[in-house]
Amino acid sequence: MTDGWTESATAWIADMGDAGDFGRACVLDRPMQARVEAGRFAAALDVGCGEGRFCRMLRTRGISTIGIDPTEALIEHARRKDRGGDYRIGRAETLDFADESFDLVVSYLSLIDIPDIATAIAEMARVLRPGGSLLIANLTSFNTAGQGEGWTRDWKGHARFSIDHYLEERADWVAWRGIRIRNWHRPLESYMTLLLEQGLLLRHFTEPSPYGGEPEMIARYRRVPWFLIMEWQKPG
């Protein structure tokens, strides 16, 4: 069964551009980079790197970075944009790296795309060195529980964001600007339990607010809990 990424790759690349969409450029990039800068990392793996935008950010900080993604067109684009980079076809559930290969593993809005999340998180922890960090940006589970209905208007015409079946793990199709992909909703408990089972220690948690962009977009992203950032450390 297709997840839509191959069919949506061209539209995705156009939508991201060099700066990224609003959520990345105006909400997530700055705090994600701040966590990277605070860690003094040397070797990074970006799991689900897409078109390679965050890999390029890591490389500008002198971090040796490998990006993997299962979508060939996105990897090809990443290679064209960054001739000196290391971009490979690969899946989170079967990381082709030795144990303890990286001191930083990044999942930047990729957990929602992974069907077998338990195996993927175990693999990310496996390739992480003791003392290293797993840095995650993800859609909040409140947000993914609203896929489908999401924004509606009440009887007074006021915009409201509806969530339902929060505790039910499921895959939903989402579509915008020529992109149609399958995302997974999971309650936050599912992610937290799997990460804790790997023995990882939560060192940072935030629900970042917009720091730029059009006022109407800022207001929209402040009304609904949109993203979270977590940094988990492997003991050692």
* 5-143+187-233 placed in CATH 3.40.50.150: yes
Cβ distance 113 to 186 under 8 Å? Answer: no
Average pLDDT over residues 7-36: 96
The pLDDT value given to residue 167 = 96
Average pLDDT over residues 170-192: 95
Average pLDDT over residues 144-170: 88
Residues with Cβ within 8 Å of residue 29, at least 6 apart in sequence: 20, 57
Q: What is the pLDDT of residues 44-57, one digit of tens each?
A: 999 999 999 999 99
Minimal CA–CA distance to 136: which of 47, 21, 16, 41?
47
Q: What is the pLDDT of residues 33-43, one digit of tens each?
A: 999 999 999 99
Lowest mean per-residue pLDDT among 145-149, 166-170, 176-180, 229-233: 145-149
More confident residue, 62 or 152: 62
Compute the mean pLDDT over every residue in the chain, rounded to the nearest whole number: 95
Give the 3-state secondary structure of residue 55.
helix
Minimal CA–CA distance to 125: which of 144, 97, 148, 100?
100
d(CA 169, CA 118): 13
DSSP string, 157-170: S-EEEE---TT--E
Cβ distance 109 to 45 under 8 Å? Answer: no
Average pLDDT over residues 54-63: 97
Domain coordinates in residue numbering, the chain: 5-143+187-233
Where b means 16+ CB within 10 Å and e means fewer, 48-61 reads bbbbbbbbbbbbee
What's the distance, Cα to Cα, between the start and end of the chain in Å?
40
Average pLDDT over residues 112-133: 98
Residues with Cβ within 8 Å of residue 215, at least 6 apart in sequence: none
Q: What is the pLDDT of residues 221-230, one digit of tens each?
A: 999 889 999 9
Q: What is the pLDDT of residues 80-120, one digit of tens each?
A: 999 999 999 999 999 999 999 999 999 999 999 999 999 99
pTM, rounded to two decimals: 0.96
